[in-house]
Amino acid sequence: MVEGAPRWGLGAVLRPEGEVVDRLTALAATIDAPGHWVHGGRTLHVTLRSLEPYRARIPVHDPLRRAYAAALEEAAQGLPSAQVRLAGVSAHQGGILVGARPEDETLAALRKRYAHALESRGVRDLEHGRVRDLWYVSLVHFAAPLTNARELVQWCDAHADADLGTAELRTAEIVQFVHTGHGVRVESLERAVLGGGGGVPPRPHS
């Protein structure tokens, strides 16, 4: 991760919980992707919005961090949790993903509200003007040149109809991505609970 690079900066995400995470993790573990970042557990997420270029250090009182958090809490207020159907595996230029098909209007409403809340605070994020209408969970990010592209495509074709079930997304988070040496860790900086719970502090890092 490179300071100022457009990828891996702060993001607003929602992370699935429960048994569906175990199923996603088990599926990702069957991918033969040496040298690439295979995700599982709390790394799995649905991106609501990419917020800024990569910064390694983001203190608690950073003005942008506070603005992102306040906007997220405002956007989440009164919205129910989101239900998404996780099904279908496909490859793209940057990795391998599972589609997340919304089963209600929460994600679309949260996206619109968050864009408005950021704009009202004078924050111009990386997605300014873009409408995110494709939802997904990344299983793999390609971190090096591909050496087995044919095998990866075959794996995706074999799992194109995979149905992982429905996930309930109950919490929207501002997260920082941290390189671990062999992958990424997703650290929660700020959270807003859907369903009327309001904002709560992130869990302490162990």
State how far the Cα of 37 lies from the Cα of 194, in Å rounded to an integer.
30
- Contact call for residues 50 and 39 (beta carbons, < 8 A): no
Could you tell me which of 189, 201, 191, 194 has the C-alpha nearest to residue 10? 189
Please tell me the predicted confidence (pLDDT) of residue 129: 67
pLDDT tens for 111-142 read: 999 999 999 999 988 776 677 778 999 999 99
Please tell me the predicted confidence (pLDDT) of residue 202: 47
State how far the Cα of 142 lies from the Cα of 93, in Å rounded to an integer.
8
- Contact call for residues 74 and 119 (beta carbons, < 8 A): no
pLDDT tens for 159-186 read: 999 999 999 999 999 999 999 988 899 9
Could you tell me which of 141, 169, 158, 164 has the C-alpha nearest to residue 15? 169
Please tell me the predicted confidence (pLDDT) of residue 132: 73
Residue 104 scores a pLDDT above 90: yes
Helix/strand/coil for 29: coil
Residue 206 scores a pLDDT above 70: no
Write the DSSP symbol of residue 129.
T
For the domain bounded by 11-194, which CATH number is listed? 3.90.1140.10
State how far the Cα of 137 lies from the Cα of 43, in Å rounded to an integer.
10
Q: H or E segment at 25?
A: helix 19-28
